[in-house]
Structure formats: C-alpha cells, structure tokens
Chain A
C-alpha cells in the first residue's frame, strides 16, 4: 500500500461511526431501529450508507418492533442489526430471548448511558452489564462484547457478526457513551483483509429436512425463508423438525445444546488483552472506557515502582473466567475491578478468583468516566494492604 492510499484511509472517527462501518464491512445489509442517545449516530450513518451497499434501513415505531424486524430479516438470510441505549435495550429483551431460542443470528448494539429509566441520556455508564446477561427471561446463554477504543469498536462489530453467524446466536455489543462518542484517528483495514463469517445454510432435499438438527459443533445449518426449504420458527421449545415439543428429554437437550454450542466455541470467541501481568502483584480487571483509565493507572503505578498489571476484557459474556485465572501470576496479592456501576462484573471476577486473592470493586456512578488517579489510589492502597472486600467509592 503506498503512502497516499494509507493517508486516505486514516480518518478521525467516532466509536458509533466505527460500529456502523464495521457492520457494513461484516456484511450487514439490514438495520431496523429507533434512534436514542448516545447511539443515534449508528442509525444516522447506516440510514445513509446501507442503501449504497444494496441494504435496507427502517426506522421503526419502537425497540420491540426493531428487534422483531431484524429477526425477520435475518430469517431471510440478511445479516441484521439494531442499536439502542438502556431504555430501548429493556424493550428489546423479549424478542432477544426469541432470537436466542429460535437460534436467529442478530447483532444488538447497546451504547450504555446512565440509568435506570431515562436517567442521564448523554452520560456514560456500565450499568447494563447484567441486563445484557440476564435481561431476557429463561436460562439462556448470551454473548456480549465490549470495546474500549474506536478501533476496537470496528473490530468487535465485525467479530459480533461473525460469532452470531457461526453460532446462530444474538450477539450484544456493549459500548459506553465515552466509547460511542469519542473520536480517534483510525486506519480502517482493507475490507479484503477481514475475516468475515457466513452462517451454515441447509442443503439437500426439501422433503425430510430437520431444520433444527445440529452438526457436531451444536449449530444447525439454517433453513432460510424464501430459499427453498420449509421451516417453522417458534419461541416454544421445539424438536429438530422445528415444531413445538415439551417432552422432558427434548427440553433438556435443547437448552443444554444452546449453552454447549457457545461453551464449545468459548476459547475462540473470548477476546482479552493483558498488560504487565507476568510479575503483577496487583491485577486490575477492566472493560470499556474504564479499561483506558485503568491502563493509565497501571502505567502510573509502574512508574512509582508498584508491580501492577491490567487484564482488559473485550468478551464479557460468556464470562472469561479461565482468562482471569490465568492472569493471576504467582505474585498476585490483590485484584481490583473498576466499573461505572455499583459492582456488576466484579461478582464474576470474584467467582473466578475464588479466594486466591482479595477482589476489590471500585465504583464510579456520577455519570463521568473514572479519572486514572481514582484507580491508582486503590492500587496504592492494595499494595499497602489497606483494602479489603468493601466497595471503594470512586465518585
């Protein structure tokens, strides 16, 4: 690539814009949504860009209809997405469960703002981490990714589509307002260099097809509407024919398979990044914009001679417990989990650490991003053994 072309690809881009561009690069050709701060730029950009790629954009009456529409579009074979924020994400939960049980690939972006309710529409939060995990009812599995930069917003959007296609699952992309609205200089990858996955499609004769019969990876090839095979899609527990069944053996096998197909792929879909973990006495576990404040805090701590490290989580569901365990070196004395909530993912970290070191949550719920010094102070307290299991107030 010559210098000229490279310069042309360098752009100042917003996190939300990177999500829209990532979606297009991943092959998204259908968007239905209802604009809401701080996610609206995604809808705005895709309303202009999708038609140029032969795609379709619909502004829906609400968020319930938005997920219903992308489910329908996905059933015809189109890679589909919507984007929202907390209040809209709440409305999406019922149909999210439908997509989970009926195994329909969709991508839902939630740019988190302060809640509950209308909350503070333009202020950042990480309050929807557990809503992403358990917002829809039933014992469902879930995949959720959380970028911490504009570049990662692009990469993880592509990854969200790939995972949803490969595993036939809804994938949730959790940004926070800081990441959604921040602009960074990015060099977009050449579209040809991206790994883009497509769902497996049903083949063979039309008669006798079992559209919900899984392959060895736990994922059934998809019979698409309007492409020859007959398929019945339902939110009821169903057998391999796709018709309702409440037989105990079938029910147990179905929900276990939905979990197993993700569990089998877990290592592949788990994305984390470690900084300075080898000799770390204090390990900070963070995601989203909080990981940026934490990285600075870890660097500042190192300058003060404190052996601190960072484990940045980009996959947050399924929770990467194995990566957390692996991040704990022989010298680890403390684990610190800063979040812009009153302690959500920290419970999972505690479960993974399982007493190997004290785990200290640090909360910031003022509608502002952590300042690095707020994390640094807890790191300093940790090495001086001044912290325990109590929640630290970051503001």
Chain B
C-alpha cells in the first residue's frame, strides 16, 4: 500500500505510467486523471511524453493530483507511484520514486527488478492477466488501472470504473469492467493489510 502523506484537504500525489508506445499509457493516464479530477474532485494535470512513432519507442504519461486549487508544475518530479510496463521503463524510472512510494511492475515484461528502488515494488503479470483473464492483451492498461486503485488510496473503485466506462469504445464496457476488476483483485492479494479507509489520515 502506498503511503500518501496528507489528508484529502492537503494532498499532492504524482503518478507516472511508463512503458512502450501502444500499451495505452496515455489513455490510462487520462482515465486516471478523470477519475481523480472529475469523480473525486481533485485538481489534476495530465501530461505525456512520447516519440513520433505510434507504436514502439518509449512512452511516458504522468498525472499530478492535488487538493490545491492550482497545480503549478504540471510534470512529475518525484513519483509517489510508478507503473512500469517495460524493463526499460523500470530501469529508467525506478530510482526516481519517492521513499515510501510504490512501483507497480508488469511482470509480463519486467523480469529483473533487482535495481534499487526507494519505493515498494509490487510485481504483477498485468499483460498476462489481460490476455488470460480478460481475453484481450489490449486491455492491459485497464488491468493496470485496477491495480492502481488497489495501491493508491485516494480514488475509489467506483470513481475509476466510471472514468474507464466513459472513455472506452461502446460495446467493450463488460470487457473493461472485467479488466479493471482483475487488476484490482490481483494487486489486493499482494498488498498486505486491509485497504485503509479513504477518509483516514495516512502517515508515512
């Protein structure tokens, strides 16, 4: 479980989703931002960083979530949560993670997590879960979002589900519901202790 400092009225959380172009980091980050911004009422900024290729190449997307009225700097500097969907992404960014933060690793692609990381590493075969439990590799980003809800204690499952359903193509709602649930359940098995109640102040 990620240890978020501050309360609902004094909160600043930075999330980075990184991997290979085509895995859906950008859409995943938009959905995460909408869950936090529209459904949970936080101030949010979402940014992205990718190359000219539409698939392949490094891809990174970031969300800054704050209880302030304004977010000054729009990019992530020290991520509370890193979602690493490729070995390169893990190697490049795991060292940036905040002490007490977390890394969610797609074990389908990230085989070596020996590199030192200040946060807790949760290894989860995200892409395999998408393929085997949901039936579509394409849903890996939504599986990842389910896992994000499980480790990031500021967005309710309902809010995330609403945000997912508002963004996915018509006719794929059930598949995406299933993907979100699969990611959430898988990460819950990894997370020790019970999920802290949302209104509870969380200490580092």
Contacts and interface: CB of A to CB of B under 8 A. Distances in A.
Interface string B102-142: 00000000000000000000000000000000000000000
Which one of B30, B47, B50 has the highest number of Cβ atoms from chain A below 10 Å of its Cβ?
A: B47
A328 interface: no
A369 B37 CA distance: 23
Interface stretch (A182-190, A202-210, A223-231): A182-190
Which one of A12, A37, A368, A369 has the highest number of Cβ atoms from chain B below 10 Å of its Cβ?
A: A12
Contact of B45 (A10, A11, A184, A296): A184
B72 A296 contact: yes
Nearest to A7: B38
B73 A181 contact: no
Interface string B59-89: 0000000000001111101000000000000
Nearest to A179: B74
Interface string A148-184: 0000000000000000000000000000001001111
A323 B41 CA distance: 36
B5 interface: no
Nearest to A369: B75
A183 B30 contact: yes
A183 B33 contact: yes
Interface stretch (A53-61, A287-295, A378-386): A287-295
Given A37-B52, A178-B47, A185-B38, A289 B74 contact: yes
Interface residues of A, number: 24
A314 to B, nearest CB: 16
B45 A182 contact: yes
A135 interface: no
B30 A12 contact: yes
A37 B71 CA distance: 26
Contacts of A307: none
A392 interface: no
Contacts of A372: 73, 77
Nearest to B48: A181
Contacts of A122: 49-52
Given A12-B38, A12-B44, A184-B44, A178 B74 contact: yes
Contacts of B33: 12, 183, 185
A181 B47 contact: yes
Nearest to B167: A12
B52 A292 contact: no
A35 interface: no
A182 B77 CA distance: 16
Interface string A287-310: 001001101100100000000000
A121 interface: yes
A185 B75 CA distance: 15
Contacts of B47: 178, 181-183
Contacts of B34: 12
Contacts of A296: 72-73
A121 B37 CA distance: 29
B46 interface: yes
A148 B157 CA distance: 33
B52 A121 contact: yes
A121 B53 CA distance: 10
17 contacts: A10-B37, A12-B33, A12-B34, A12-B44, A12-B46, A122-B51, A178-B74, A182-B45, A183-B33, A183-B44, A183-B47, A184-B71, A292-B72, A295-B72, A295-B73, A371-B75, A372-B77
Given A181-B48, A184-B46, A369-B75, 7 more contacts: A10-B38, A12-B44, A122-B51, A184-B71, A185-B33, A185-B37, A289-B74
Q: Which 7 A-B pairs have the closest CB atoms?
A: A296-B73, A183-B46, A185-B37, A295-B72, A296-B72, A182-B47, A121-B52
